[in-house]
Structure formats: structure tokens, C-alpha cells
A and B are shown apart, each in its own frame.
Chain A
């Protein structure tokens, strides 16, 4: 099954290569990975989505822990979380279809962030299902280009994923 891991790492050069290299070397499948600075100086937060069964996940987590730069790993798959990804979709839109597209985007609370004569760029933020649904609906018009971020996840409530925890 799909697992979402919140990982705290030292924000050092090469840390992403270490994590990604570990996945390929140990034969684990990585679905998405997103990294950025956290609220702590010198510490970055990763959200990793990986396809793994129970044993594989255990092994993956332990191997990640062995990386000196990894501070903390939490499996938040079964926790109440807010998760989001963002997609930019460049879709064909001429005068005849533009109004229809705008309507669809509006229903999904997406945004049109660029308009040209024959296309628009749609920005959509949400969980994976919502982004997928948006893409499916826009597909018939002709998607010229699609860019997606990986998923970012945060546990609901006051609990946080911290290095000391």
C-alpha cells in the first residue's frame, strides 16, 4: 500500500541525493518526494510517498534512519492529516471552450493564472483525488503541459513532527 512519511533531515548539500539513492539502491519505489526548509533553522522537512508492504516499510524506515543526516521519520499514513499538492495545467482553450473551462475550474476552486489566445494555465491545489479529478475533467479539451508538485502533509491539531519526539 501507499505510505506517507514525514521526514526531518539536516538541510545539507546532498541530503536529497542520499535519500533518493537509498531508495534506488534498496529497490524501494518512491511515488513522490517534496522537500523544503522547515520552521527550524538548518532543518528541512520531506514528505515522502512510497509504495511498500508492512515489511518493506519497516526496512525502508530503518535504512533511512541509518543516514546520518536523517533526524526523524514519522509514518503519518493513518493519522488525521491535511495533505496538499499543487498542479499547473496548460489546457487548450479557444473562444468556444474558454467559458466552459472557466466554469469547471471555478467549481473546483481552482484559478486561471494565465490566458492566451489558444490556451489557459489552470492552478489547482488540493489532495491527490481532487487534483486527479480536475485533470480528468480538463483532459477532453487537450492538456498541452502538466506540472505537479509532490504531496506535502501536516498532521491535524497541535501535534507536530519534531526531531526530539
Chain B
């Protein structure tokens, strides 16, 4: 069928089953927009292209389907960059389509020209500059294939405006021919056998589970393995929800702001079963002292992750679900009662907790109440910093794709647009964005997008009038010299109202639950400005590049526990029976 290049783009999106795209029009991409006008593909108009990339990302994380974003050439394309880098670091499948100046103008510093394929080379899984209009259908097919298979990631297609105007024969290919791209899905049988033997011999095993388990849909297999062999399980920030947060075998998150139990378990275990993780520095700290006593099994679909940061003994390259399936055929039940008793002792000695500050609203308390009011069933997105860690610590995620956060790149401004993308993809879900006053201000213009598209996302700004994590580091490592971390903020509630959303301010603990309940009843987007204790810290804390031995904040956890025990009297003994993170306030 003869059609214009731009029409072919839209036709290809339809063939790929794309329901929605997030974008912002401009000169070089107008051709595509003209055909979108008549298409059944829904277009969400953002207010800044960065948000289009984050929305596509949030959509992909919430649904498991690739997210698509569109921008024009030059500044439109460069505004996508942070979103692409975010998706790249967290292995999220998104397709970015950018306009480009006409082929003859490329390299002449034409109006709104930027070398976006050059710029995004290291932050995309692959990218294309379409030079021959006839290649367009093949390139789009390949882009979707590459983005969604193997280790997923973002793919960018740069489309010169004259290519979009050229007539081509549209025949959409079914197969792709990529001789240089052959992901390995099935683990090597001998390695799987080795792993099964190591599991049988282990006395103190730990499952260390990350985002790869969510990407591969292996949560059920992880749980089966954990339960059959009684293996305590820790999930990284990216892996939260891959193992039920309320499960007795759940250790909480490991690493810098991980639970004491998770970090002690990693330190003492004799077998570490790492699945879909990349031994990130926020987990390992000093790699030389990370989990020093363990045999390490590493299951990952990306061979380059094996041995990248930490030496492993039994590498298995393959899809987490398929490898675990094969492994489950070979492992026998085990009890590990002594090990579990040790873990339980750690959980009881150092549960997560916080000390109430007189007259102040505690941010952790707010997260706990969000958890209660949403019944633990909300999709929660975050920005980056203290609120992100409190959300990870105090909201217990039971389902994969429930917690959406920029783990690798640590992108402030991610949370709100990601929440909108998640809401578009899962219209029936309750979506909360737990943000900070810093992070929310980085993309709060998207309130207009939320209102325009009736996206009922609930934004909870844990507002401490600081860049909280920056302030915490300055307090601990820079002699409390709060350089550029104090913030004079707008009135977030009135701001929300100005956009046509609902705004609320909460300053007292007793107002938290009523405000949250009201927010749930409101049909549209809501912003709640929780004005919380300004100088609260995230505990525990292993400073960057250090080891478990340097963990800070244990005194704080103890104090919280004692206060709680004093208040609850004898009942306190039973507290530690619950999973970490639900120990509540003191």
C-alpha cells in the first residue's frame, strides 16, 4: 500500500498494538501529528517533553507494555534525554520517535536541529536515523522488537521531515532479521544443575531479587523457590513488589537505606542467589566487603552484568522466569530453621522505626497512613530522595509493577509524570505519587496534563522545605552547612487549584487520614501538601562506598523500638512477628 512516511509511522504503531502515545508537537514532527489526528491511537499532550518520556516509562512499568513518546526535532528531542537515560538505567521498554530536519539540512545547524542519535547513543539500547523512507516499516518493527526483548530498554527513531513526507510502499514486516541480536533465554543446563546443588548444600541462603524479576514476570517462581527452601528474600528498590512485602520470609530492601536484617543477612549468608539484579553500588557499598562469605549464583539475561561489579561463582545467563522454572525442577524442600531464627532475631532487634518529634508531622507516618488508606493496593510512584526511601521502607508492596521509581538514574521529576503514565495504562488502579517538595517542582507543570485528561492521580508531597536527602548528607558529612538545600516553596494546594485540580494542606497527624480519604473520593487529580518535620533523617544509612559495619542510625532504631515498647507495654513483644517496615511509630 502506498502511503506517506508519516502515515506509515502511525500505521506501524497501530500494528504494534499501541493504544496511547505521549508527546508534544513541533515543526519537524507535524507530518506524524497530522496522521495521528485521524488515528485510533490516543495522544496525551504533555507540557514538557521530559514528562512525555517519563509518562511512557511509567506506562511501561505499570503495564509491562512498551511506552511510546513523540517529540519534535532539536529542543523537543533533547528534552527527552533525561527520560531516555532513566529508562535505560532501569531497563524499561520505551520507543521515542523524534522529528528531525530534512535530510539535506542535516549537519548545517538548521533551525531546531540536534544530533539526537549521537546524543542518545549511550543512553538507548539502540537508535536509528531514518535515511531511506523505504526502511521505515522495518525500522519501527525492529525498534519494538529490540525494546521489548532480551534486557528491555529504550529505542529512539529519528525521522527527518522529508522522510515523513516521502511516499513509500507500506508492508509491515512480521519477522525481524537482526543477526547481531540474539538474546539468550534458556539458562545452561549444567549451570542450573550447579545452582541446584549449591542450594541443596547451603546452610544460610539468601535470595536477592531485582527489577529483572519484574521484567521477566518471575515473581511467582521466586516465591515458590523461597517458600520451598525457606530462603529469606530481599528485593532491591527496583525489585519491590517482586516478593510480597508482608511475607514472613521478606527481609525488606538491602543496601544504603535497607533494613538491618537484609544487610546482616547479605553479610552472613553462605549462598547468595541473585536474580535480575546488577549489584548496584547502592546495594553493595564497598564491593570488596560485600557478602564476603557467600557462594554467588547470578541469574541475568544480560551477560555483561555477570561479573561486572562483583565476582560470581555460578553465572546463569537467561530469562529469570525460565531459569527459575528449570531450577525449581531440581531443588528439594529445606527448612533452614537455625538461619531463619537468626534472621528473626535481627528483625526483632532492629525493626524499622522512627522517633516522633514533638509537634511535628512525621513523613514516615504519612507513608504508613497512605498504605493503610489504600489497603496496600495502590500503584505508588516516587521522585528521588528521602521520601523515596520512606515510601520504599514503609509501604509494603505485594505485587510486581506496584512500585515505580527511578532506581538507577535517580531522576528527580520522574514521579508525577510516571504516575500519570501509569494511570493512563491502568485506568482502574489507584495511583499515588509520593513526592518531595523538590522533586514535585521539577515537573509540576504536568498538573495541566492531569486535569486535561482526567487522570485522578493523588500526589502526596512530603514537604520539608528542604532538599531532604541533600540536607541529610550535609548534616552528616558537611558540618550542617545547608548550602542551597533550603527551599522557599509555592503553596502547593493553591497551585493545584489554579490548575483545576484539588489541593489540600496537612500539618497535623490527626488530619492525615481524613485528607487521604477525601483525596480518594475526589474524582480528579489531587495534591496534598504534607508539611512534615523539616530535619528528619532516613535510617538506617550505610554511607556511600562503605560496608555493613559502618551502618549508621542503629541507635535511632533502638530508641524508636524502646519508646514503642514503653507505650505498648507488654504487647510490644509481638511486634517483631510482623514483617519489617510495619513496626510503626514510637
A66 to B303, CA, bound (A): 9
A62 to B181, CA, bound (A): 12
Given contacts A17-B121, A59-B308, A62-B304, contact A68 B131 (CB under 8 A): no
Given contacts A13-B129, A68-B126, contact A59 B307 (CB under 8 A): yes
| Cβ of B447 to closest chain A Cβ, rounded Å | 36
Is residue B302 within 8 Å, beta carbon to beta carbon, of the partner chain? yes
Give the A-B pair count, Cβ closer than 8 A: 39
Is residue B107 within 8 Å, beta carbon to beta carbon, of the partner chain? no
Interface size of B by CB at 8 A reads 19
Is residue A104 within 8 Å, beta carbon to beta carbon, of the partner chain? no
Which of chain A's residues 26-84 have a Cβ closer than 8 Å to chain B? 55, 58-59, 62-63, 65-71
Q: Are A69 and B180 in contact (CB under 8 A)?
A: yes
Is residue A18 within 8 Å, beta carbon to beta carbon, of the partner chain? yes
Q: Are B181 and A68 in contact (CB under 8 A)?
A: yes
| Cβ of B450 to closest chain A Cβ, rounded Å | 36
The interface residues of chain B lying within 8 Å CB-to-CB of A58 are 307
The interface residues of chain B lying within 8 Å CB-to-CB of A17 are 118, 121
| Cβ of B298 to closest chain A Cβ, rounded Å | 13
Is residue A159 within 8 Å, beta carbon to beta carbon, of the partner chain? no
A10 to B117, CA, bound (A): 17
The interface residues of chain A lying within 8 Å CB-to-CB of B181 are 68
Residue of A nearest to B317 (CB): A62
Is residue B146 within 8 Å, beta carbon to beta carbon, of the partner chain? yes
Is residue B178 within 8 Å, beta carbon to beta carbon, of the partner chain? yes
Q: Are A65 and B121 in contact (CB under 8 A)?
A: no
Interface string of B297-324 (1 = CB under 8 A from A): 0000011101110000000000000000
Interface string of A1-41 (1 = CB under 8 A from B): 00000000110011001100110010000000000000000
A18 to B146, CA, bound (A): 16
Interface string of B144-160 (1 = CB under 8 A from A): 00100000000000000
The interface residues of chain A lying within 8 Å CB-to-CB of B118 are 17
Residue of B nearest to A8 (CB): B180
Is residue B359 within 8 Å, beta carbon to beta carbon, of the partner chain? no
Is residue A163 within 8 Å, beta carbon to beta carbon, of the partner chain? yes
Given contacts A59-B304, A65-B303, A66-B302, contact A71 B179 (CB under 8 A): yes
| Cβ of B124 to closest chain A Cβ, rounded Å | 10
The interface residues of chain B lying within 8 Å CB-to-CB of A22 are 122
| Cβ of A132 to closest chain B Cβ, rounded Å | 34
| Cβ of A129 to closest chain B Cβ, rounded Å | 34
A136 to B558, CA, bound (A): 71
The interface residues of chain B lying within 8 Å CB-to-CB of A10 are 180
Choose one: A21, A25, A62, A163; the contact of B179 (CB below 8 Å). A163
Q: Are A25 and B122 in contact (CB under 8 A)?
A: yes
Interface-centre pick from B117, B131, B304, B307 (highest chain A CB count, 10 A)? B304
Choose one: A59, A63, A68, A70; the contact of B146 (CB below 8 Å). A68
The interface residues of chain B lying within 8 Å CB-to-CB of A21 are 121-122
A17 to B181, CA, bound (A): 18
A27 to B304, CA, bound (A): 15
The interface residues of chain A lying within 8 Å CB-to-CB of B146 are 68
The interface residues of chain A lying within 8 Å CB-to-CB of B180 are 9-10, 67-71
Which of chain B's residues 149-183 have a Cβ closer than 8 Å to chain A? 178-181
Residue of B nearest to A164 (CB): B179
Residue of B nearest to A10 (CB): B180
Choose one: A13, A67, A71; the contact of B131 (CB below 8 Å). A13
Which of chain A's residues 121-163 have a Cβ closer than 8 Å to chain B? 163
The interface residues of chain A lying within 8 Å CB-to-CB of B122 are 21-22, 25
Interface-centre pick from A58, A68, A71 (highest chain B CB count, 10 A)? A68
Residue of A nearest to B126 (CB): A68
Interface string of B168-210 (1 = CB under 8 A from A): 0000000000111100000000000000000000000000000
| Cβ of A162 to closest chain B Cβ, rounded Å | 11
Residue of A nearest to B182 (CB): A65
| Cβ of B489 to closest chain A Cβ, rounded Å | 37
| Cβ of A105 to closest chain B Cβ, rounded Å | 42
| Cβ of A7 to closest chain B Cβ, rounded Å | 11
Choose one: A18, A62, A70; the contact of B303 (CB below 8 Å). A62
Given contacts A63-B304, A68-B146, contact A14 B117 (CB under 8 A): yes
The interface residues of chain B lying within 8 Å CB-to-CB of A63 are 304
Interface-centre pick from B117, B129, B178, B180 (highest chain A CB count, 10 A)? B180
Given contacts A14-B117, A25-B122, A62-B303, contact A68 B308 (CB under 8 A): no
- Which 5 A/B pairs are nearest by Cβ-Cβ distance? A62-B304, A71-B180, A68-B126, A25-B122, A68-B181
- A: which residues have CB within 8 A of B? 9-10, 13-14, 17-18, 21-22, 25, 55, 58-59, 62-63, 65-71, 163
- B: which residues have CB within 8 A of A? 117-118, 121-122, 125-126, 129, 131, 146, 178-181, 302-304, 306-308
Q: Return 15 A-B CB contacts under 8 Å, by A number.
A: A9-B180, A10-B180, A14-B117, A14-B129, A17-B121, A58-B307, A63-B304, A65-B303, A65-B304, A66-B302, A67-B180, A68-B125, A68-B181, A70-B180, A163-B179
